[in-house]
A and B are shown apart, each in its own frame.
Chain A
Amino acid sequence: MDAFSILPIDVVCTVILLWIAQGLLGLALQRAPQVICRVIFPLSACISLLLAATGLSALGGVANIAVLPLGLPDLPIHLRLDALSSFFLILLGGASFGISLFSAGYFKKTRGRVLGLLCLEYHLFLASMALVLLADDAYLFMVAWETMALSSYFLVTTDHAIPEIRRAGFLYLLIAHVGAVAILLSFGVMQAGHGIGAYTFGAMREVTLTGFWSSVAFLLALAGFGAKAGLLPMHVWLPEAHPAAPSPVSALMSGVMLKMAIYGLLRVTFDLLGTQLWWWGVLALGLGLITAVFGVMFAAVQGDMKRLLAYSSIENIGLLMVGIGLTLIFHVYGKHTLAALALTATLYHSLNHAFFKSLLFIGTGSILHATGERNMGQLGGLIHPMPWVSVLMLVGVLAISGLPPLNGFVSEWLLLQAFLLSPGLPNSYVNMLVPVAAAGIALAAALSAYVMVKFYGVIFLGQRRENAHKVAHDADYWERAGLLWLAAGCVLLGLAPVFVIQQIDAVSQMLLGAHLGNASANWMFLAPVDTHRASYGPLYFLLAVLGVMLLTVLLVRRLYHGRSKRGPAWDCGYPLQTARMQDSAEGFGQPIRRIFEPFFKIENEVPTPFDTEPKYHGISEDKLWYLLYLPLKALTEKLSGWVSLLQHGRIHLYLAYTFVTLIVLLVFV
C-alpha cells in the first residue's frame, strides 16, 4: 500500500478532532451567535456527511488498526475501524447531518454563554460517539463512553434553571453511571485476570472463558448497555431526559446515542466473547419483547409530545433487542443464514430508527419554536400554518408505523421473516417462544400505528385548540433542510433495501461468518432467502399505488367532474362545535389505558356534576417506579443511614478509627 494513501481510520480521527475544534471555537465565539449558527453548525453537518461517506467506503474493506501513544504511560490507545464500527459511523454521520443542519436554524434565538457551551457540548457529544465506535481497548472505550454520558448530561440540563430538568438530568446521570460500572465490570471479566496488558479488545478476543464467566460478562454487558439503551427495567431516565433536552439533542440521544448501546452489546456479544449460549438469546428476546410492548403502551397514554416519542424509542429499543436475541438463538443453533437475517433486520432497524426518530424529534423542535407548547392537548391544526413540517413529519410518522413503502416496513418485514423461517430449532421450549414473540412484535407494531395516529392527528390535524397558535410559523430554511434530509433518508432506505442489505452483509460476515445476499439477483426485489419463500419490491409497490391513484383521479375527472365547494363541517348535524370537543391526547389514549389498566398506576380526578368549577385531571404513571425504584431508594437511604452512624465529624473519633484499623491489621495480617 502507498505510504501516503489516507486510510478511512485517519479520516475518522480527523473528523473527531475537527468536531472538538469546532466545539472549542464555538465556546470562543460565544459573543457571535450568528457565526455559530450560520457557520459552525452547517460545517459540522458537512463533517457528518464526510464521516458517513468514510464509513460507507470502509464497510467492505479490511479492518484499519491504529495504536496511538496517547493516554497513560505505557498504555497506548488502540483504535480499530471494522465493518461493525463503519456501519454505526454511517448511522452517526447520516443522522447527525440532518440534525446539525436543523440545529443551525433551531439555536438561532439562543445567545451568549448558553450557546457557546451548547456548541461545545454538542460537538463533544458527537466526537465522543465517534470515538466509542473507534475504540479498540477497554480504557479508551470507557473514557469515550463517559465523555458521551457527561456531554449529553450537560446538554440535557441546558435549561438548568428549571427544577424538573435538573431532576431529569440527575436521574439520567445516575443510571448512566450504574450502567457504566456494569460495562466496566464486564470488561474486567473478559480480560480474565490477564493483567494490565489484556485491556485491549484484541486480547479479549483471544481469551477463552468458561461458560459461567462468559455468561457473567454477557449479563453485565446486557445490564450496562441496556441501561444506556432504555431496556426495562432501566428505562425510567429515558422519558424524563429526552423531553428535557433541546430538540436536536433529544434527536441525537434518541436516534443515535441509544444505538451506541446496541453497538456495544453487539461488539461484546458477537465479537469479544468467543462463545455464546442459547439462553442469552432467550433472555434478550424476552426482555426486548416486554420492553417493546411496555414502551408502546405507555407511548399511547402520553400527553407530552416529546415524552410520547421517548416511550416510542423504548419500544424500538425493545424491537432491536428482540432482533439481537433472535440472532443469538439462531447463531448458537448453527442456523447461520437465519442469524444473518435477524442481524440484518436489527441493524437495518437501527438505521431506520436513527432517521425517523431524529426526524420526529427535530420536528417537535419546530413545533415548540412555533407555538411554545409541548403539551399536545394545547396544539392542533398545525397542518395549515406549518406545511413543510407537517408534510415531512407525515413521512416520519408513516415510517415509524411500519407502513410500506417506507423504511420502517422493511426492517419489520425482515424481522418477521426471521420469525417465520425459524421452525426446526432443536430446543422445543425455544420453538414455542418464537411464535409468541412474533405475536408480541406484531402487536407492538400495530399499537405504534395507534400511537402515531394520535401523535400526528392531535398535533397537526383538527382545529386549533388555542387562538395564540394562529401566529405559528413554519420552520426556517435550515430547519427545513434538516427535516428534508431525514425524511428523504426514510424514503430512500425504504425504496432501496437491496442496496442497504448489501452493505450490512459486510457486518454479518464479520460477526457471524455468514451473510444474507439477495436471492432474486435483482435490485428491485428484496428476497432474503429465496424468491419462492418471500420477496418484496418496494419500488414496484410505490409505482403501483401511485399509478392506481393517478388513474383514479384521471378517471373521476374525465367521467364526472371536479366541482367542489367549501362549507361548515357537518358532524352529523350537531351545530355547536368547538375546538375543545375534539379528542385531546389523553382522550385518544383512553381506550389503551382502559384495556391495559393493570399496567398503569392511574390517578383520576373527576368532579361531581354539581361542581361549579370542575377540574379534570388524569395521570397514568409507571408502576415500576413505585415497585422498584422507590423501594430501592428507601433501601439506599437506610443503608447510608447506618453508615452515617460512623460519621460524627469529630477528628479524634476518626483518629481512633484509624488506630483501631491499624491494630486489627497488625494482629491479623
Chain B
Amino acid sequence: MILPIVFCIVTYLITAAVIFPATSSYLAMADLFFSDKERDVTSPHTNIFVPVEDSSQPDTESSQPKQETIKASDFTFPSYEDQFGELIIEDCQIYADLFFGDSWYVLGNGVGIYNGSAIPGYGKTILIAGHNNTYFNGLKYAEKGQIVKIRTNYGNYQYEITDIRVTTNVDRSAYDLNAEEENLILYTCYPYDTLGLTDLRAFVYAKYVSGPMIDKNS
C-alpha cells in the first residue's frame, strides 16, 4: 500500500514544479498579510502602564531640568492600542489614559498617539488625538505656559504649551512629523460643546521641558 503515498507525493511535486515558479513572488507578497503569532481577540487591549518614580525633577540649584537617557532595550515598547501612560493638564482639568494608536477603541477610552508620530523621549514630534466632547474637552481652556504632564511605563515627561491654533483637517502645515527635536502636539475636533461635526481641528503645541530621552542606538 505504498503506491497511494507515492501518488500523493508525486502529485504535490508536480504541482509545486508547475505552480511555484509562476506564483513565488505572489506567495512572498501574501506573507505580508500574516503576522508571527495568532491575534488575541479576547482582550481588546493590553495595559503595560506601570508608573515609574519621577527622577527628572528640575535641578534646585540651576532650575534646569535634569535630562537622563534610557536605553530602548530597558523598557517595553507599546504595541498598537496598548495603554502605556497617562496625560495630565491640571489647568485644563484633563486626566486621560494614554494609548499607542488612535483607533475608535483608543479614542473611546482615552487619548492616543498617532502611530506615524513618535513616543515621548524619542526626540521627534508626538501627535496625540482625543475627542472634544470627552477627554480633550478641557483643551478649550488651554493657554500658553501651561504644563502638560505625560507619565509612561518608562519615564515621566513635561511639556510647556507654546501655541494654540485652529485649522482644517487637511492643513498639513499644522504639524511636522519629520521634526528632529522633541515636541508635543495635541489635537481635537473644533468647535467645542456644539452639536454636529466640522472639518476644523484645534491644535495645541508644546515644547519639551523634561523627561528621559531614549537612546535609540542601545
> Is A bound to B?
no
